[in-house]
A and B are shown apart, each in its own frame.
Chain A
Amino acid sequence: GNSVTQMEGPVTLSEEAFLTINCTYTATGYPSLFWYVQYPGEGLQLLLKATKADDKGSNKGFEATYRKETTSFHLEKGSVQVSDSAVYFCALSEDYGQNFVFGPGTRLSVLP
């Protein structure tokens, strides 16, 4: 079945460092891909999404490109801030279903 794999972390970076969180997926058909962020004590919020191959999603300085050839959707940010400390989830939405498949989440800690 469909699945999402991402680096589990925790990832610890200094402020202004470059961030990459890897995400790869297995799916039949043509899923849409999402990154969600969860701040401490809160629910998940959509960070960005891409709905077809080669699409780039972007928001708040974060970017991810839907790469069908490598089945990947890696999250990047050029300069992280302390306020980016959170758990990041990669997810896919199945082609003909209503459900999402989530990765295990990656905890990011950014130190001042």
Chain B
Amino acid sequence: DVKVTQSSRYLVKRTGEKVFLECVQDMDHENMFWYRQDPGLGLRLIYFSYDVKMKEKGDIPEGYSVSREKKERFSLILESASTNQTSMYLCATKRAGLNRETQYFGPGTRLLVL
């Protein structure tokens, strides 16, 4: 069974703090993704990675960075958190290759920046 876990379900941080969100998968998938989900805006892709140490910007990368040192782990970093980064953050993974492959999602991290 596919399993994608995220380090926290809920997180409260202060403006200016450095924030780490971790995602771990056990399916040996090559591709990993970070999205944020906001009411009325749907899912927006922040960054994705198609291999260890590789990363690509998504639609809204500003204010974020990522790290993928191991295949199973993909971290999202907020260098200096701001209130407009309060959101639900979703990690997803997918096997590389054909477009019929499914994306599998973690349970999400709801981040509040005060």
Contact surface of A with B, Cβ cutoff 8 Å: 31-32, 34, 36, 41-46, 49, 51, 89, 91, 93-100, 102-105
Contacts and interface: CB of A to CB of B under 8 A. Distances in A.
Interface residues of B, number: 25
Given A34-B102, A98-B50, 20 more contacts: A32-B100, A34-B103, A36-B105, A43-B4, A44-B90, A44-B105, A45-B105, A46-B102, A46-B103, A46-B104, A51-B99, A89-B42, A89-B43, A95-B99, A96-B99, A97-B99, A98-B48, A102-B42, A102-B43, A104-B41
Contacts of B108: 41-43
B102 A98 contact: no
Contacts of A43: 4, 90, 105-108
A41 B50 CA distance: 28
A107 B31 CA distance: 28
Interface in B30-65: 31, 33, 40-43, 45, 48, 50, 58
B96 interface: yes
Contacts of B107: 42-43
Interface in B86-114: 90, 92, 94, 96, 99-108
Contacts of A97: 99
19 contacts: A34-B103, A36-B105, A41-B108, A42-B107, A42-B108, A43-B107, A44-B105, A45-B105, A49-B100, A89-B43, A95-B99, A96-B99, A97-B99, A98-B94, A99-B33, A99-B48, A102-B43, A103-B42, A105-B42
B105 A104 contact: no
A10 B94 CA distance: 30
- For the complex of A and B, 7 pairs with smallest distance between CB atoms: A43-B105, A51-B100, A104-B42, A93-B99, A44-B105, A32-B100, A102-B43
A38 B108 CA distance: 11
A36 to B, nearest CB: 8
Nearest to A104: B42
A43 B5 CA distance: 10
